[in-house]
């Protein structure tokens, strides 16, 4: 990934966060509830963790495109406006089948289900994805450089296709007239996220609606959409969000007789787990929400990690590897731990203390590596500012259930 692309990505994140705030403000003006605080934090945590892993993975991603283009491509297709249009259609076509496979094959659904867990529908939902999808997508897109499309242009158009997905995750935009017949709109994608029986496994398209109409998976938005998955997951941890269905598949396979029956659990559709859920799955615990007393605390912590996340991409050309990995380590730990704090696990308070100590340690290391010895005193700021805040409201982290 070039420096220009990383800076562009940093600005895109700033733009998306601004749009999230704009959507929140507009929803308040319209007196329409489209945000849940705890749910939105989980969406952001999943997105930040996935994009942080992407930063480490993207070199492999692009290098794979280059390798297959150089060594295995059928031809080297010239880059011009006509081939770019063909490439755009090919990317969108492959997106449809990648997306559809992610709903119809259990092992792929285990990676994609994270994006469907939220029972709200807003811009933050576009961030709620699993890093496992990075690997899966690569195998779908590898056909393009093998056919002969330029890896750089292919990566760019895939990025455009993915960026478009952000704008269709909103309830504040209604029908778009004639555009409803051409492109995937917020209305079409709301249907896709519905757990209403009529909406399940519909509207897989990325940008163009033609693929759903061609392959019989199109459905218009008629009845009110009920968002989420049919077996709700109440935890706010990224670990549960990313792994819970993998565990369900593993446990369901254990009850099958014979190796082929066990393998089929992973390769068939989600409906194959219905018997497992009915006979073996324990009742879900009651959902726990982030305590109102810690709302501004959580907002502050997420603001910090979002700023760090943006800085990693924006300053990657001047930031040493040691500084990058220190910041990445803190971001990863925060996105993994913050859900346990929201869920008020028994170890939430000591875990958050540990995270604040880690924040201080990472601040010290970064300032030292940047030769800013005169500012090392700032490393104590997280402990001085946030620990008294936590101690004052420690009861807000206790689970009463």
Domain boundary among 214, 247, 267: 214
244 and 370 share one domain: no
Contact predicate 33/27, CB 8 Å: yes
What is d(CA 205, CA 141) in angstroms, rounded to the nearest whole number? 16
User: Cα dist. 286→68, 99, 117, 127 in Å?
Assistant: 49, 31, 15, 25
Contact predicate 318/10, CB 8 Å: no
308 and 264 share one domain: no
Query: What DSSP string describes 105-174?
Result: SHHHHHHHGGGG--SS-SGGGGG---THHHHHHHHHHTHHHHHT--HHHHHHHHHHHHHHHHHT--SS--
Quote the longest CA-to-CA distance of the chain: 66
71 and 204 share one domain: yes
Domain assignment present for 226: no
pLDDT at residue number 282: 60
- Name the domain count of the chain: 3
Residue owning tokens 């600005």: 11
303 and 166 share one domain: no
365 and 318 share one domain: yes
186 and 54 share one domain: yes
Domain assignment present for 225: no
What is d(CA 159, CA 167) in angstroms, rounded to the nearest whole number? 14
**3 state DSSP class of 183:** strand
Domain assignment present for 230: no
136 and 274 share one domain: no
pLDDT at residue number 286: 61
269 and 354 share one domain: no
- Provide the β-strand partners of residue 227: 194
* Closest C-alpha to 208, from 80, 88, 122: 88
Domain boundary among 181, 214, 247: 214
pLDDT at residue number 317: 80
14 and 155 share one domain: yes
Domain assignment present for 177: yes
What is d(CA 263, CA 246) in angstroms, rounded to the nearest whole number? 13
CA-based radius of gyration for the chain: 22
* Closest C-alpha to 196, from 168, 227, 174: 227
What is d(CA 61, CA 63) in angstroms, rounded to the nearest whole number? 6
User: Cα dist. 237→178, 291, 334, 335 in Å?
Assistant: 41, 16, 11, 8
Domain assignment present for 380: yes
**3 state DSSP class of 30:** coil
Residue owning tokens 């993998």: 246
Domain assignment present for 231: no
User: Cα dist. 209→183, 205, 247 in Å?
Assistant: 5, 6, 34
Query: What DSSP string describes 202-249?
Result: ----SSBSHHHHHTT------SPP-BS-SS------HHHHHHHHHHHH
272 and 324 share one domain: no
190 and 107 share one domain: yes
333 and 189 share one domain: no
User: Cα dist. 388→176, 298, 392 in Å?
Assistant: 50, 15, 6
Contact predicate 353/387, CB 8 Å: yes
pLDDT at residue number 374: 85
Chunked mean pLDDT (size 10), the chain, 401 residues = 67 91 95 92 94 80 88 92 96 96 96 94 95 87 94 90 94 94 97 95 96 97 93 87 93 89 92 80 66 89 93 86 92 94 90 95 93 89 92 80 53
> Which domain range does residue 275 map to?
238-279
* Closest C-alpha to 122, from 176, 173, 62: 173
* Cβ atoms within 10 Å of 282's Cβ, excluding its own: 5
pLDDT at residue number 283: 57
Question: Which pTM does this prediction carry?
Answer: 0.90
Domain assignment present for 87: yes
pLDDT at residue number 135: 83
Domain assignment present for 128: yes
Query: What DSSP string describes 245-303?
Result: HHHHHHHHHHTSSSHHHHHHHHHS-GGGGHHHHHHTPPPPPPP-PPPGGGHHHHHHHHH
pLDDT at residue number 1: 47
């Amino acid at each position: 990934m070039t420096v220009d692309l990383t800076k562009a990505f940093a600005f895109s994140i700033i733009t998306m966060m601004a749009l999230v705030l704009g959507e929140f403000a507009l929803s308040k003006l319209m007196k329409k509830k489209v945000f849940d605080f705890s749910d939105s934090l989980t969406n952001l945590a999943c997105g930040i963790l996935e994009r942080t892993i992407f930063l480490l993975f993207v070199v492999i991603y692009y290098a794979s495109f280059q390798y297959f283009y150089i060594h295995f491509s059928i031809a080297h297709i010239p880059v011009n406006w006509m081939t770019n249009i063909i490439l755009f259609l090919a990317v969108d076509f492959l997106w449809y089948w990648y997306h559809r496979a992610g709903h119809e094959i259990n092992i792929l659904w285990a990676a994609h289900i994270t994006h469907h867990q939220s029972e709200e529908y807003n811009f933050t939902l576009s961030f709620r994805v699993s890093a496992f999808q990075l690997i899966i997508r690569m195998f779908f897109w590898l056909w393009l450089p093998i056919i002969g499309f330029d890896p750089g242009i292919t990566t760019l158009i895939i990025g455009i296709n993915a960026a478009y997905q952000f704008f269709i995750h909103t309830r504040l935009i209604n029908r778009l007239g004639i555009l409803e017949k051409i492109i995937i709109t917020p209305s079409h994608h709301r249907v896709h996220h519905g757990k209403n029986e009529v909406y399940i496994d519909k509207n897989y398209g990325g940008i163009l609606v033609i693929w759903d109409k061609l392959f019989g998976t199109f459905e218009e938005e008629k009845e009110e959409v009920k968002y989420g998955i049919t077996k709700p997951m109440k935890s706010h941890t990224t670990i549960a969000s990313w792994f819970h269905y993998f565990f369900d598949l593993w446990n369901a396979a254990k009850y099958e007789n014979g190796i082929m029956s066990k393998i089929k659990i992973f390769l068939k559709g989600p409906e194959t787990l219905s018997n497992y859920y009915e006979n073996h799955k324990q009742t879900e615990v009651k959902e726990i929400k982030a305590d109102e007393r810690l709302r501004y605390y959580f907002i502050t912590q997420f603001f910090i990690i979002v700023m760090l996340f943006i800085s990693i991409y924006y300053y990657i050309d001047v930031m040493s590897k040691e500084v990058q990995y220190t910041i990445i380590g803190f971001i990863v730990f925060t996105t993994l731990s913050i859900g346990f704090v929201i869920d008020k696990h028994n170890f939430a308070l000591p875990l958050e203390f540990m995270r604040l100590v880690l924040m201080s340690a990472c601040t010290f290391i970064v300032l030292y590596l940047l030769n800013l010895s005169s500012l090392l005193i700032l490393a104590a700021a997280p402990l001085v500012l946030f620990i008294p805040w936590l101690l004052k409201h420690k009861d807000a982290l206790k689970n009463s259930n």
